Structure 1
Amino acid sequence: MLSVLIMGTDSVSRANMRRNMPRTFAFLKRHPDVLDFRAFNKVADNTNPNIVASLMGLTQKELQEVCQPRKTKYDDCPLIWKNFSRAGYVTLYGEDSPLFGAFQYHRFGFVREPTDYYNRPAMLAADRLTKHNAGQQNVMGLCLGGATAISVIHKYSLMAADALRDTPYFGFFWNAGMTHQRVEWASAADEPSLQYLKALQESGVLDHTIVFFVSDHGIRFGNIRQTYAGFLEERLPYFFVFFPPWFKDRFPAAWRNLVTNTDRLVSNFDFHVTLRDILAGAFGNPSRDLPPLRHGQSLFDEIPVNRTCADATVPEHYCTCEQQSEVSLDDKILLDAANYIVSDLNKQLARFKECAQLSVQKIIRGQVGSGREKIHATSVITVVFETLPGEGMLEATVTHHKNKFELTAEISRINMYGNQSHCISDPFYQKYCYCNDLLPVSLTAME
């Protein structure tokens, strides 16, 4: 039984790793047992829904149907570490930013400890007593005492791997504090990440463990996000996998498929199916005797070269394979699309009396391409625009057919909203809400 270790770092695209974590990137590229899945495409906006897809294999709508009919705890959800636990694995879960945890930020997290080892109580105390930002402003949490927060999680992972050397385990670890808010801060994660990977290698852990070294998405805010390069980077996180050195010789067919798939479109749902196959030991004849899952394909099977985002359950809004062309900012279709999006959003925001109604201030960027449905003449429009009040920058993708628009996924907020939505607690609508109590008195009186 192979152990599984997932080490994640928030908001780092593959391109940004190459740019700001060059030593870590070089180490991974040189390693003979590491595979770099270069076309890994996220499936949702932020951390939580992408991790839900990876660890549960569910879309957000399916999550609500299966275990979250309302905003509640995750205890009853089908997290894959439960499957590993039932098979005799020890399970671990650790994060460096407990207030911004993948299942905690504006959510209810867990009532019971979700895994055998769970570092949240210790990290809450550390966050309260030892956290500091080394003089930096507007970042989540760089340091815990004299160590970087990311290094604390790395050390926790190494200690667990050493203690469980003779026991199969499933470990999920996540780092957010250092990299979440500024694209350039990935550079501060370079040396800690490199030393962590070297320590893993020297410890002998890699002889019996499959290690996923991953991110959830690229940077979602800031100046770079307003460029087309930033648009792509946000959708293309890094996804590297270490295999034991003997794996390629024992399972040559599976290894050939894995290598082939490094150049194929891969999503979080494929990650989930692959974890299921690792648990089942389905390497020699992948997935044949396993029941099909709702989404995804095992990376131990060859992914078709002509795979589409629809095949990979990647919504059009997040798909980097779509062929679109830039159009003039004064093209009426962009303004019409933006007005439709804001109108639809305002209908949803109407349930929150504390939030102002929004309007389109200006168009920032727009692209138009052909839709997936080839039978009908459908256009796909991606538009970035600014709204008032609050100067929120929104990005959305809509289809356009017979003068009708339709959103393909949720609307992305691509600049920071800070305290603008302090009046509501809903984690989804906080991205869009501008609280009425922040409006100038003259505007409030006019309403």
Structure 2
Amino acid sequence: MILMIFSLSILQNDDPDSVTESTLITSEIRELKLSKFQENFNAESPNEFLLDSEFCKIPNLNPFSVEAMSVFKSVKPENCSKIPPLTSIEYDNVNNRHKIIINLEHKKYYASWFRNEITCCYQRITRNGTGSNSDNEFSLSSCIDFESGHQLNEKDDFILITCKKYKNIILIRRLKAEIYKNAHAMIINKKEHNVKPEIHNKTNILFIGIDSISRLHLIRAMPLTYNYLREKQWIEMKAYNKIGDNTFPNFMAILAGVNETYAFDKCSTKETGGINKCKLLWDNFKDQKYTTAYAEDSIEISTFNFYKKGFEKQPTDFYFRYFALAAEKYLPTTHDKPWNTNCIGYQHYADYIYNYAFDFASQYKDSPYFGFFWTNSFSHDDINLPSGYDLRMRNHLRKFEEEKVLDNTIVIFVSDHGMRFGDIRNFFTGWLEERMPFLYFYIPENFKKRYPNLIENLEINRERLTTPFDVYLTMKHVLQLSGSEQDFTAISCPDCQSLFKEISINRTCADAGIPENYCTCSPYEEIDHSLPIVKNIANFIVNVLNALLSSHKKCAQLKLENVISARELTYEKHKDFLVTLNVLPSKGKFEATVRKTSVENSFELLGDISRINRYGDQSKCIRDAHLRKYCYCI
């Protein structure tokens, strides 16, 4: 097992002239002493339960268990390009402008032929959609010629660069050919967003998120990142429990304090501009003169656009989506999976997001800001891919520290849930991990000194049951500390509270707004899945699925194929069953929690039915984001 861990992290080296990969592998392994990593982790976590209270007992599983390691394989990082990019962006501190640099030493990769001449121009990328296409269209300006050192203006935050070479051939007309295309995203420090430093006493907020990584998988697949967080004493919420199936409900709990039902009903995600009706955290912060930013990669699966209408009005001061639309259209992409864009142009898609986040924090470090930066590209669909990004992720976090841009900033490093599909979901650790994403807080020293009691409570809450609703209220608490009046209520969780207040050790899932089917507090016991009651429950689940699909005539009627497993939890007046089953004709694998009441053969579905294997294009005949995981198109 230790030999497997040794290969977990390799630096991805996009520059062929720099230090070799093997040297970096050796130095990183020596630095972290990975052979001791697992031993130390297990020694520090000897308890049977991660949380052990009267009402909540969460098992303390080993991230390096035989089950987990049987389905996880670390991957080597991928070089996104065999040659370095011709252009880069530098910031001119004297003129407070970004400028385009043509890297002369890289010209040899693009124009080595005698008497070749390279000319370059750039186009400004702007948001240009209206109505139902507001969030899905962009425009390009005319192409502006430039030479190295060209200064960009306030409108040039997103640009697409094209370079061509001219060949002078004897007795033949001059030929022109495109030899380079790249895109650059920048944060422009605009005067209207600045607050004078002498009157700025507000705390900045920076969310940095990764899709589909559990707390245990962060430790398993990204040990360099995990070790960095520990060394720098970021505060981990060890019993952080999701409240919804996928990204959207967990986002909405953090950003608005609401659950999925409320969000779909009141925020009208199927209507153009519907999501603009709901006040999200960046709106709260913008009301208090904060500069706001939101960036997410992978346009096809982005949170507010995957079978949703997105934003009619640009949601934040800086908004990455229309740059992503242009980049994905014009730059070459590579895919580790058909549905997963890993590289775009000359770099990793995630690098665009985290570099954009760093640029935002750097440009506005002396003014109050709220930024939300999210990546899907290296983690959404494959349990192995995060291992290839480990060192890059660690280095992104380290850069914030080394460049000293977080002196007045709280950073929330977070995921939405664990891996929802794949072989790991065949094991109990997969069931638990899906429900328990990671959550860390970086607290700046000046905040610690000003509010020691709040930090003491946050430290206590490391070992308490916490949820995205609490994160929402913690952000409202930050606003209150910055001098604004706030309503400390999460609509979908009346009993939730800020993490700067001590959470009760006896908190229950109901107290925390966690639906029963996502609750990790109850120790289910495995039972014989061939029992008649289990078969009855399985048929009940299939009947519920068919009832949900009844209005979609293009979806096939589902039939029970077999029951895979069953677990039981006994209460005083009822029993809960966690049942996993396969259906035909889709070969769909589903998991549901069902309560059997005292009435004979009376069942109640608790929460949602989870699809735990991939459905791909099986449901392409319908547009319902919720029902797509159930439908099998005829």
Fold-level match, TM-score > 0.5?
yes
Q: Which string of whole-angstrom CA distances, capped at 9 and with x for unpartnered residues, describes residues 352-383 of structure 1? A: 00000101111111111035xx5xx1111111
Q: Distance in 1 between matches of 2:458 and 2:388?
A: 31
CA 1:69–1:107 in 2, change beyond 3 Å: closer, same or farther? closer
Amino acid at match of 2:587: E
Which residue number in structure 2 is paired with residue 30 of structure 1?
Answer: 231
Which residue number in structure 1 is paired with residue 284 of structure 2?
Answer: 83
CA 1:264–1:235 in 2, change beyond 3 Å: closer, same or farther? same
Asked whether the 8 Å contact 2:212–2:437 carries over to 1, the reply is yes
Residue 416, structure 1, aligned to residue 614, structure 2: yes
- Quote how far apart the aligned CAs of 1:99 are: 1.7
CA 1:132–1:289 in 2, change beyond 3 Å: closer, same or farther? closer
- Quote how far apart the aligned CAs of 1:67 are: 2.7
- Quote how far apart the aligned CAs of 1:290 are: 4.5
Residue 114, structure 1, aligned to residue 318, structure 2: no
Deviates more, 1:402-411 or 1:110-119: 402-411
**Residue pairs, 1:305-384, within 5 angstroms:** 305-371=505-571, 374=572, 377-384=573-580
Amino acid at match of 2:617: N
1:141 match: secondary structure = strand
CA 1:103–1:131 in 2, change beyond 3 Å: closer, same or farther? farther
**Residue pairs, 1:382-397, within 5 angstroms:** 382-397=578-593
- Quote how far apart the aligned CAs of 1:138 are: 2.8
Q: Distance in 1 between matches of 2:395 and 2:424?
A: 28
Please say which structure displays the higher CA radius of gyration.
2
Which residue number in structure 1 is paired with residue 76 of structure 2?
Answer: none
Q: Which string of whole-angstrom CA distances, capped at 9 and with x for unpartnered residues, describes residues 209-236 of structure 1? A: 0000100000111111121110001011
1:75 match: secondary structure = helix
Q: Distance in 2 between matches of 1:131 and 1:224?
A: 32
- Quote how far apart the aligned CAs of 1:137 are: 3.3
Residue 293, structure 1, aligned to residue 494, structure 2: no
Which residue number in structure 1 is paired with residue 427 of structure 2?
Answer: 227
Which residue number in structure 2 is paired with residue 435 of structure 1?
Answer: 633
Amino acid at match of 1:17: L
CA 1:292–1:120 in 2, change beyond 3 Å: closer, same or farther? closer
Asked whether the 8 Å contact 1:423–1:435 carries over to 2, the reply is yes
Amino acid at match of 2:417: H
Q: Distance in 1 between matches of 2:275 and 2:569?
A: 39
Q: Distance in 2 between matches of 1:319 and 1:167?
A: 40
1:340 match: secondary structure = helix
Q: Distance in 2 between matches of 1:71 and 1:392?
A: 30
Deviates more, 1:123-132 or 1:426-435: 123-132
1:345 match: secondary structure = helix
Which residue number in structure 1 is paired with residue 124 of structure 2?
Answer: none
CA 1:69–1:100 in 2, change beyond 3 Å: closer, same or farther? closer
Which residue number in structure 1 is paired with residue 366 of structure 2?
Answer: 166
* Residue in structure 2 matching 1:249, options 412, 431, 449: 449
**Residue pairs, 1:61-80, within 5 angstroms:** 61-68=261-268, 71-72=271-272, 73-80=274-281
1:262 match: secondary structure = helix
CA 1:6–1:289 in 2, change beyond 3 Å: closer, same or farther? closer
Q: Distance in 1 between matches of 2:263 and 2:375?
A: 24
1:323 match: secondary structure = coil
Q: Distance in 2 between matches of 1:75 and 1:289?
A: 20
- Segments of structure 2 that go 5 or more residues without pairing to the other structure are 1-201
Q: Distance in 2 between matches of 1:131 and 1:275?
A: 38
2:374 match: secondary structure = strand
- Quote how far apart the aligned CAs of 1:341 are: 1.1
- Quote how far apart the aligned CAs of 1:410 are: 1.1
Asked whether the 8 Å contact 2:269–2:309 carries over to 1, the reply is no
Amino acid at match of 1:394: F
Q: What percentage of residue pairs aligned between the two structures are identical?
A: 39
Q: Distance in 2 between matches of 1:278 and 1:347?
A: 45
Residue 16, structure 1, aligned to residue 195, structure 2: no
Which residue number in structure 2 is paired with residue 439 of structure 1?
Answer: none
Amino acid at match of 2:591: E
Asked whether the 8 Å contact 1:98–1:124 carries over to 2, the reply is yes
**Residue pairs, 1:137-148, within 5 angstroms:** 137-148=337-348
Amino acid at match of 1:29: R
Which residue number in structure 1 is paired with residue 596 of structure 2?
Answer: 400
- Quote how far apart the aligned CAs of 1:288 are: 11
Q: Which string of whole-angstrom CA distances, capped at 9 and with x for unpartnered residues, describes residues 53-107 of structure 1? A: 1101001222244332855531111211101001100110001112211111111
Asked whether the 8 Å contact 1:6–1:214 carries over to 2, the reply is yes
Q: Work out the number of aligned pairs and report it.
A: 427
- Quote how far apart the aligned CAs of 1:425 are: 1.1
Asked whether the 8 Å contact 1:5–1:209 carries over to 2, the reply is yes
2:411 match: secondary structure = strand
- Quote how far apart the aligned CAs of 1:172 are: 0.6
Q: Distance in 2 between matches of 1:386 and 1:85?
A: 48
2:582 match: secondary structure = strand
* Residue in structure 2 matching 1:425, options 616, 619, 623: 623
CA 1:303–1:288 in 2, change beyond 3 Å: closer, same or farther? farther
Amino acid at match of 1:24: T
Amino acid at match of 1:118: Y
Which residue number in structure 2 is paired with residue 105 of structure 1?
Answer: 306
TM-score by length of structure 1 reads: 0.92
Asked whether the 8 Å contact 1:6–1:213 carries over to 2, the reply is yes
Which residue number in structure 2 is paired with residue 175 of structure 1?
Answer: 375
Asked whether the 8 Å contact 2:334–2:343 carries over to 1, the reply is yes
Amino acid at match of 2:225: T
Amino acid at match of 2:251: I
Q: Distance in 2 between matches of 1:293 and 1:434?
A: 36
For CA contacts below 8 A with separation 6 or more, give which structure has more relative contact order: 1
* Residue in structure 2 matching 1:127, options 328, 331, 334: 328
1:110 match: secondary structure = coil
CA 1:366–1:131 in 2, change beyond 3 Å: closer, same or farther? farther
1:207 match: secondary structure = coil
Q: Distance in 2 between matches of 1:290 and 1:359?
A: 48
TM-score by length of structure 2 reads: 0.66
- Which has the larger strand fraction? 2
Q: Distance in 2 between matches of 1:75 and 1:250?
A: 35
Amino acid at match of 2:283: K
CA 1:174–1:69 in 2, change beyond 3 Å: closer, same or farther? closer
Amino acid at match of 1:126: A
Deviates more, 1:120-129 or 1:63-72: 63-72
2:384 match: secondary structure = helix
- Segments of structure 1 that go 5 or more residues without pairing to the other structure are 437-447
**Residue pairs, 1:195-210, within 5 angstroms:** 195-210=395-410
Asked whether the 8 Å contact 2:477–2:486 carries over to 1, the reply is no
- Quote how far apart the aligned CAs of 1:133 are: 2.1
Which residue number in structure 2 is paired with residue 4 of structure 1?
Answer: 205
Asked whether the 8 Å contact 2:560–2:581 carries over to 1, the reply is yes
